[in-house]
Amino acid sequence: MIPTSSAPPISGIEQTVTPTFMHELGALPKRTHDRVEKALAVLKRDPTNAERQLDIKKLQQVDAWRIKIDDYRVLYQFDDRVMTFISVLPRKDVYKKLGIPDEDGLTVVPDVTLKPVVPPQPDGLLPHPLTLELLEVWRIRGEDAHALAACRTEDDLLEASVPYPVFSKVVDLLYSKKWQERLAQPSYVLAKPTDLEDLVEGRLTTKLLRLDDHQRHLSALGLEDARAPIVVKGGPGSGKSTVALYRAKLLVERFPDASVAYTTYTNALVEASKEQLAVLLPDDPHAVRVSTVDSLAKQMLETVEPIGTILGATDPLTLQIFEEVAVHKPPQLRKFSARYLLSEFFDVIELTGLDSEDAYLASPRAGRKAPLSAAHRKLIWRLYQNFHATVTAAKAVTWATLRKRTLDAYQQGHLKPSFDYLLIDEAQDLSPITLRMLASIVKTPGGLYITADANQTLYESSFTWDALKEGWPQAQVHVLERNYRNTAEVVRALADIRESLAMEDSEAALTESLANGPKPRVVTTSREREVERLVEEIREASRLHKEPQRNVAILVAGTQHQARDAGIELARALKAHKLKANYMSSSGLRLDADCIKILSLYTSKGLEFPIVILWNVVDGVMPRNVSELPSEEQTEEQLKDRRLFYVGCSRAMRHLAVFTREGEESELLYELQSDHWDFINTHTGKEPA
């Protein structure tokens, strides 16, 4: 749909604005500001300009319209009943700043940086002095204004202690974004007439992110009459979790008396989801019950039976019990390590709910590569029985057994379905038993809404789409294909990793976004220089992307324990270089913290950051040394590490760097292509492509 004066009136128009448009609008003279707001109100009522109240013109070589208001030009796009307002700048330099053809279509303005008022200096002076008078015009006042007025250089600005929305506004007004960058920005819906002014003034904390048409369709699909589960799958950055969160919002608004739960696998994702739901549902942020899968199962089961101590595969008590029963391990099992046998107990027998020797003998052992003979399986089953009996005697239970017992309690009628609607995010990390348990918690199959990407499986490797379909044969499966997170360069770099992984789900492949940036890089350095080089990388990336250091995430390779120890040590080292940095566990994650976030790769799953640096990607850590396992199992374990590497790299929105050490380079890095990655060695410099 395009606005032409001869077209009939259109109803149901949605207006959205980009962050940069909001910032530019807030910096206009009051008379012009008021006229722009009035023009948007007129377009809302008369989108085709049939009444000819506005001076509107279609740009010839860019898919956009311009509105003439005094000496300013408002540029917007209008497509399928949605108007997106992208820029409002002075006529004299609007097209030069945006790097697009002028409105007469005569001259293509080169995509160059606008000459600043203050010429670039070696010490990186800001292009405009941030005076208190200028900041007042930009509607920045109080302590924030005084903190910014003290900034003289880009580094001062990047380290200024101001809220990120204020920082973002200043960067937008100092360094105008090009047209393509603006198109890649998210846009926010103007739901009420007052929303525009509230957004500009910072009064509107609830920013409704606009979903694309397909995402919006999937978020509302079957809202009134769903009879079967709905499954949404897609690659990283496709918006699966955002669609699920909007689904939760719609359910609460449409059915205020319904019980709605939202569950995912890790504490970090739970905390991130709570933060986002608080924005989507400001009047009742607790209307949706948000918890991990295991927490939900525990809360349900302990209402009908005692649970006792809950054990994970690597807990000290688990290892102690295994050592006790392994004393009597038959000679035929001596070639199998403790880690391998515990993995067989937890990841095969318990995860898939095998309850007899015959069931174990018949099991395909999903996710395991090395075959086991019937004789070996019988001996492992007997060892497992001893292990299970000892766990029970210690008044303990494993997490997998707890989920199975919760499922049994529902199937036997001891527990009744608790929720009208259940949204399951990141379902690829759940076993078939766990998915069946969750299905029992919801009152009807139509109350289930599931998102997943089999290519990002990290935890419970028995997940398959076939198993999901067996559990819910009537499920409606839909695919999200567009990537909204990463730059095109990051997507191309990720393709190298996907190729080495033989990904399970080709439908969840990434498509390139509109955003562009530098090629991801592999940085090889010495142990002595690695922290110093990391500090340089952080500062360089922060300057390049005009992002404060709080938007940097360092993802540490290794097991959870290795990553924690290395992350805490790294935080100390960065603080010694006067950088604010903190290691954050999954349960202690604070995305709004004013510091560099140091996380384990596992904790980063489901999150995104403008600048991502993978740390300690060295031989023996990623991939791990698993030489004690059978050769086939070594392949499977290293495949898990490749998946983890893929997940970590895909967290990067704009900047990605992978750090390794000279002489200890990870074999994962040999599979990356110089067409898509820059390779930098601190001793030899950048290697030629």
623 prior amide bond cis, ω within 30 = yes
Non-local CB neighbours of 587 within 8 Å, separated by 6+ positions: 267, 268, 271
DSSP 186-244: --EE--STTHHHHHHHT------BPPPHHHHHHHHTTTTT--S-EEEEE-TTS-HHHHH
Q: Nearest 5 degrees, angle CA 141-CA 198-CA 254?
A: 145
Q: Which residue has the tokens 């270089």?
A: 577
CB 206 within 8 A of CB 280: yes
Helices and strands, counts by H and E, the chain: 24, 22
Question: What are the tokens at 597?
Answer: 């976030």
Tell me: is residue 239 an annotated ligand-binding position: yes
Judging by DSSP bridges, how do beta strands 421-424 and 260-264 pair with one another?
parallel
Question: What are the φ/ψ torsions at residue 218 (nearest 5 degrees)?
Answer: -70, -30
SS3 labels along 123-190 = CCECCCCCCHHHHHHCCCCHHHHHHHHCCCEHHHHHCCCCCHHHHHHHHHHHCCCCHHHHHCCCCEEC
Tell me: is residue 161 an annotated ligand-binding position: no
| Inter-residue long-range contacts of 639-643, CB under 8 Å, 24+ positions, other chains counted | 639/501, 640/458, 640/461, 641/668, 642/497, 642/500, 642/501, 642/668, 643/455, 643/456, 643/457, 643/458, 643/501
Tell me: is residue 413 an annotated ligand-binding position: no
Q: Residue 249 and residue 19: Cα distance in Å, rounded?
A: 23
Tell me: is residue 235 an annotated ligand-binding position: yes
Classify the phi-psi angles of 260: left when phi > 0, otherwise alpha if psi is within -120 to 50, otherwise beta: beta
Tell me: is residue 240 an annotated ligand-binding position: yes
Question: What are the tokens at 33?
Answer: 């500001």
Question: What are the φ/ψ torsions at residue 611 (nearest 5 degrees)?
Answer: -125, 125
Closest Cα partner for 86 from 24, 33, 32? 24
Tell me: is residue 47 an annotated ligand-binding position: no
**Can you name the residues that pair with 521 across neighbouring β-strands?**
657, 678
Which residue positions form the known binding site?
A: 234-241
Binding-site residue positions for ATP? 234-241
